[in-house]
Amino acid sequence: MALPLSQDAKLEAMTAAQEVKGRSLWQDARRRLFRNKAAVVSMIILSIIVALAILAPSLSRHAYDAQDYNQVGCPPSWAIDMTKLDDLDYADANPEAAICGQGIVMSFETALADWELACGEGASPGDGVVCGAKPTIDDFKHFLGTDAVGRDLWVRILYGARVSLSVGVVATVVALFIGVLYGATAGYIGGRVDSVMMRFVDIMYALPFIFFVIILMTVTADIPFFKDPFNRFILIFAAIGAVEWLTMARIVRGQTLSIRRKEFVEAAVAAGVSNRAIIVRHVIPNVIGPVIVFVTLTIPSIILAESFLSFLGLGVQEPMTSWGVLISEGANEMETKPWMLIFPALMMAVTLFCFNFIGDGLRDALDPKDR
Amino acid sequence: MLGYIVRRLLGAIPTLFIIVAATFFMMRLAPGGPFDGERRLPPEIERNIKAAYNLDKPVYEQFGIYVGNILTKGDFGPSFKNKDFSVSELIMLGAPVSLKLGLMAMTLAVFIGSFLGVTAALRQNTPTDYSVMSIAMVGITIPTFVTAPFLTLILGVYLGWLPVAGYGDGAARNMILPVVVLALPQIAIISRLVRGSMIEVLRSNFIRTARAKGLTDAQVVWRHALRAGLLPLVSYLGPAIAGLVTGSLVVEQIFGLPGIGRYFVQGALNRDYTLVMGVVILYATLIIVLNLIADVMYRVLDPRVRLG
Amino acid sequence: MPEPILQIQDLNVRFKTPDGIVHAVKGATFDIAKGEVVGVVGESGSGKSQMFMAAVGLLSGNGEATGSVKFKGQELIGAPQKLLRTIRGSKASVIFQDPLTSLTPHMKVGQQIVEILTTHKNIGQADAERRALDMLELVRIPEAKRRMQQYPHELSGGMRQRVMIAMATACDPDLLIADEPTTALDVTVQAQVLEIMRDLTRELGTAIALISHDMGVIASMCDRVQVMRYGEFVEAGPVDDIFYAPRHDYTRMLLDAVPRLDQPDKPGHPVLPPIENWWERETLIDVQDVKVHFPIRMSGGLFGKTKPLKAVNGVSFELKKGETLGIVGESGCGKSTLARAVLQLVEPRQGAVVWLGKKDLMKTRGNELRKMRREFQIVFQDPLASLDPRMPIGKSIAEPLITQEPHLAASEVRDRVKDMMKRVGLDPAWINRYPHEFSGGQNQRVGIARAMIVRPQLVICDEAVSALDVSIQRQIVDLLMKLQAEFGMSMMFISHDLSVVRQISHRIMVLYLGRIVELADREEIYENPLHPYTRGLISAVPLPDPKLERSRTRIKLHGDLPSPLDSRAALTFLKSKVIDDPDAEQYVPQLVEAMPGHFVAEHDPV
């Protein structure tokens, strides 16, 4: 015996038959989105950046917190001509490159000697020694240079990407969760409840909320619980998410209200459909579009907010890093080590560009005015 | 109209109160006070200092005293860290700097932003439009704390045209970089906003009527389109001010301007409660008042909005 | 033959759209002579407006016009903007459909007229203002001096359109292009505006190109008619020939579809079966003194105050089983609100709606009310807006069914949906398609199928055909009558269009500012209207019959609909009992049974 189907399942089953295929608005939107070149290119670039961030630990032999004392504040390795290290004219003209080049050689030779000693011909590996491949000089080059204490910039940018992107995504989810719940409640109940709830949002809007985040971050800096990097991380999410939910609540409420007034919702009420079913069947599918657009545009603004906090020294703590921290460090050293500013800034800008282009593309694709 | 303004101002009182209370309790309830961290003081002296600043009383009582002093004497208390100054004195020193910076940036942003937006809208889907919008995208994406060092690096360090930092008593040369850096994101946002609304207005029926009257394109834009197209800009002014305030925290920091944004950041880092409170109250009041002005302006510019 | 003002030769208009090139006007050719009124009729999308927009160079950016348009011998296609500007507004001017959005919202109406004068005539501000004032008086705007200083939103719809006319005729143009000039207006206001246009242009010898979908308007105004379909003229000729001896099938179809106030039952269409023994029939709903008063916030004072907007103000009537009650009235008379009050869809409502003599729906709540809802359904005005854009139409139709009969198996739901789709004239194979893939008429069929799927005893049609073209309108009306014959449900048919209401209704109720002014049998109310408002309303409807139109004298209703917030407004037709205070409790005109079954509200003698 077949299980009794829920109403919604029945609706699904009913229209799943093989009649003439309809073209839903989602399909239309997807087609329009994929026709938007900027959005498609952005999606590709963003996927690459995300993949790099996820794979960061296996992409470089350098650890994000390892200091290479032979190479402190060195320019990108492709700016150093390794073949001319012994050339005195070259050293005169590029003293820094020459020193950093020697640094690479020194680090390599030290590591090679250690390797030979432990794993080389005739040596018997001692207890707990794991022998890797034989070091080559390329392993000691720093593709994008090093920072002021000799850490590999490329790896740090990738680890920064992990922090910045996850803050962006998680805080957006926080904002989304609170905002959708709050906004949908206000919009659906309407009347007095709505005006009280939105009045509260208006009050919160009246202040530069970043102040509260700053105060929150400073007052919690001394609480032992929040000294733990992970907890501090969560606090950043929560604090920024708490700022961004206001706009989300407004958008969701406005959309809910306007959909509530649409005739197709009135038709459902007139048919005796319950409130719950109206929300699930009619309100949510129609609110999703604008919310998705807002989410794609919120992620970059949260990445910006996090980097803003980090820039002020209130974000993630050493040796963890984020794009904001890297840019802040870079800004301090920009006169002598411009690469420390340029590369993190470039990486962040490209990411934010991508999010904005995707957001704009989505908005155009979902915009009903276009139809 | 007057009734509306009075009602709005009355409505602002609970708002301000909530802001003051929230800030106050957040700072007081957290561990670590303004006098920690310095060399350990003998218990007696510490007690005396705390008594002098009323820190020995229960928190709600401190709050009562604080609010009472503001309401009766307009006194925001002494600064905990800058021992020779009261908060009011510090704010009086810093506010003109921040205000000057903010006003100049705002003016620049509004004029350049709306000019770019209108231009792009009038030449929709032409190279002009695309380049304005690309620049705007850059302005929105790249944060102040990146543009500031970059511009300083180029114009200040490499080319040596402008001073790298410092207030220089408000000399124009010193203000150019901070103002431009602060205005850039707003220019970008405003130009996108204005372009969007102008395009919508230019498609509207009354513009078709104006063209059907035989007016020149310039007359159509100036007399009929511009006012309607700039309306969304007026309602954006509120958020724009909040954006400028946030931006000014960074800009004052980077360029070493002695404004209240810098006081705020340093006050927050040093636990200078009273100073932070003073700055928050000042900014919140400013934002509330400016938002009100923006709303009133909107009502003046759009006769359709009923004053009520 | 007088010299032509406008000569259009092989005009083509094409629009570039993301979905390809749309050929909106295909080789149109015709002339307009001096002082002549030429009507251009056609349904939506026929290209009739675009043809004239192309002629005066007002096409939107993606449009392109080829061919030849000569204005007094001067070529306009490809002419420099500078030349076009000297013609637009001064020698050839345009009146648009929607006067609210077509006037600049932030500019005083006086200034908008002054502007056109200072642009084209070599006169100063003061002279222009004087002339603008004259023009406003010429179009019969009361208190013209004060109106000069007002903004468009402060004027009523009819007044705005008169401002548009004043503006368009300010420079004594040779040609007036009127693009659906009265479509957005109520019928009594339409009559006033048409009369002003007629008088004004006759005086000035202006030629008019009247673009309209309304055969009645065309019949009452035009000398010659051009019938347009899909961007082409299918027929052209003197107005009498078109109306009395149409040659093209499309013209014949159009004329056949047009509802006629004086001929409700046309041959070839379903005929409304009369209701026998009205008194003995079972009463489906008994509506007793229903009121809907919305609180409206007013400005003034420190905190403002609220005033009740009496949208529906004490309406009582009975509806028998199988009967159709037509409800007519102008915008703001409360007809849609009344429908929603009967259906329990609007708050706050008072009074009683007694269902089958047993249950007061007003006192029914929650689940019980939801279950009752299967008995009364609604069909909305805007077919597209009343369907969830993200739901295939099959789901939309099925929704009431699975809600009301949750025990049905999915396959049975599908069969019932497909069956209903067939009955309303939709291909059941379209069950998975979406509303945006259909035309307005098809979507309205979906809306009807959704209402009918639960076999309700009452269907309320709220302006259900108003947004549709005449030919589609006729089909939907026929469909509703056919369904009534099939299922025997009662209907409340709400419309501002008296002719359509007459086709479909057994009895007709006229609403004015939330109250019934007259209620009678459909023949009776049209042949023997007793209330002055009903008389004015009926007289204002233009008939698609040019000879009749020329000989008709109209009973005029002066002025516009007064504000429903002013309590004196309710006594517009009973001035003798008015207390002169906008906030006072006023006398309530009683409904009197003048003849058996013919009720009329108290009014001053005509």
Which chains share 3+ C-beta pairs under 8 angstroms with A?
B, C
Q: Which residue has the tokens 């000014």?
A: B248
Give pLDDT, residue C558.
67
CA distance C385 to chain A (A): 6
Residue C300 scores a pLDDT above 70: no
Do B79 and B34 touch, CB atoms closer than 8 A?
no
Residue of A nearest to C368 (CA): A272
- Name the least confident of A47-56, A254-263, C388-397: A254-263
Q: How far is CA A13 from CA A282, C81, C393, C428, C438, in A?
A: 18, 60, 14, 16, 23
Q: N- to C-terminal Cα distance for chain B?
A: 7
Higher per-residue confidence, A133 vs C80: C80
Q: Which residue has the tokens 């503006």?
A: C167
DSSP three-state, residue A338: coil
Domains of chain C: 4-101+173-257 (3.40.50.300), 323-329+368-601 (3.40.50.300)
Give me the residues of C, 379-408, that contact A with CB < 8 A.
380-382, 385-396, 398-400, 402-404, 406, 408
Parallel, antiparallel, or unpaired: how do β-strands C224-229 and C37-41 relate? Answer: parallel
A contacts of C378 (beta carbons < 8 Å) = 266-267, 270
Mutation for A interface: C62, C381, C402, C460, most A CBs within 10 A: C402
Q: Which of A70-79, A123-132, B121-130 has the highest mean predicted lDDT (pLDDT)? A: B121-130
Q: Which of A100-109, B238-247, B255-264, C528-537 has the highest mean predicted lDDT (pLDDT)? A: C528-537
Partner-chain contact A341 B14, CB within 8 Å: no
Return d(Cα B204, Cα B198) in angstroms, integer: 10
% pLDDT > 70, chain A? 89
Helix/strand/coil percent split, chain C, to 5 = 40, 25, 35
> Chain-wide mean pLDDT for chain B?
82
The verdict on C112 touching A (C-beta cutoff 8 Å) is no
Partner-chain contact B30 A327, CB within 8 Å: no
- Name the least confident of A196-210, A309-323, C141-155: A196-210
- Name the least confident of A116-130, C542-556, C567-581: A116-130
Distance of CA B153 to the CA centre of its chain: 25
% pLDDT > 90, chain C? 42
Partner-chain contact B213 C106, CB within 8 Å: no
For every residue of A277-336, DSSP letters joined together read HHIIIIIHHHHHHHHHHHHHHHHHHHHHHHHHHHHTT-SS-TTS--HHHHHHHHHHTTTT
Start-end of H helices in chain B: 2-29, 43-52, 59-73, 87-122, 127-141, 144-151, 172-202, 205-212, 217-219, 226-255, 260-270, 273-301
* Residues whose CB falls within 8 Å of the CB of residue C133, separated by 6 or more in sequence, listed in order: C110, C144, C145, C148
DSSP three-state, residue C16: strand
Q: How confident is the model at residue A3 (pLDDT cuts 50, 70, 90)?
A: very low
Q: How confident is the model at residue A209 (pLDDT cuts 50, 70, 90)?
A: low
Mutation for A interface: C62, C297, C369, C390, most A CBs within 10 A: C390
Return d(Cα C394, Cα C432) in angstroms, integer: 6
% pLDDT > 90, chain A? 7
Residue A1 scores a pLDDT above 50: no
What confidence tens digit (pLDDT) does each residue in B200-232 have?
Answer: 899 889 999 999 998 988 999 999 999 888 888
Which chains share 3+ C-beta pairs under 8 angstroms with C?
A, B
Domain boundaries, given as residue ranges, for chain A: 26-56+154-320+352-365, 69-114+132-141
Using the 8-state DSSP alphabet, how is residue B53 labeled? T
Residue of C nearest to A273 (CA): C403
Nearest of C411, C157, B81, B29 to residue A14 by alpha carbon: C411
Q: How confident is the model at residue A370 (pLDDT cuts 50, 70, 90)?
A: very low
The tokens for C302 are 């420190």
Q: Which of A69-78, A190-199, C315-324, C341-350 has the highest mean predicted lDDT (pLDDT)? A: C315-324
Q: How confident is the model at residue A126 (pLDDT cuts 50, 70, 90)?
A: low
What confidence tens digit (pLDDT) does each residue in B123-142 have?
Answer: 888 888 888 888 888 888 88
- Looking at domain A26-56+154-320+352-365, its CATH superfamily turns out to be MetI-like (1.10.3720.10)
Give pLDDT, residue C11.
93
Partner-chain contact C119 B219, CB within 8 Å: yes
Alpha-carbon torsion, ordered A138, A143, A145, A150, to 10 deg: -50
Parallel, antiparallel, or unpaired: how do β-strands C490-495 and C324-328 relate? Answer: parallel
Residue A33 scores a pLDDT above 90: no
Residue A137 scores a pLDDT above 90: no
Return d(Cα B251, Cα B20) in angstroms, integer: 25
Partner-chain contact C391 A281, CB within 8 Å: yes
Parallel, antiparallel, or unpaired: how do β-strands C324-328 and C507-512 relate? Answer: parallel
Partner-chain contact C299 B214, CB within 8 Å: no
Order of strands, edge to edge, in the sheet holding C37-41? C92-95, C175-179, C207-212, C37-41, C224-229, C232-238
Residue C32 scores a pLDDT above 50: yes
A contacts of B26 (beta carbons < 8 Å) = 212, 215-216, 219
Which chains share 3+ C-beta pairs under 8 angstroms with B?
A, C
Residue of A nearest to B149 (CA): A331
Give pLDDT, residue B306.
56
Q: How confident is the model at residue B307 (pLDDT cuts 50, 70, 90)?
A: very low
Give pLDDT, residue B31.
63
Partner-chain contact A270 C434, CB within 8 Å: no
CA distance C489 to chain A (A): 16
Domains of chain B: 2-73 (no CATH), 90-301 (1.10.3720.10)
* Residues whose CB falls within 8 Å of the CB of residue C69, separated by 6 or more in sequence, listed in order: C6, C7, C8, C9, C11, C54, C55, C75, C76, C77
Across the range C547-567, mean pLDDT stands at 77
DSSP three-state, residue C597: coil
CB pairs under 8 A between B and C: 92
Nearest of C530, C586, C528 to residue C562 by alpha carbon: C586
The verdict on A279 touching C (C-beta cutoff 8 Å) is no
Distance of CA C306 to the CA centre of its chain: 31
Residue of A nearest to C365 (CA): A272
Do C208 and C38 touch, CB atoms closer than 8 A?
yes
Give pLDDT, residue B198.
92
Higher per-residue confidence, C559 vs B293: B293
Residue A258 scores a pLDDT above 80: yes
Return d(Cα C452, Cα C483) in angstroms, integer: 9
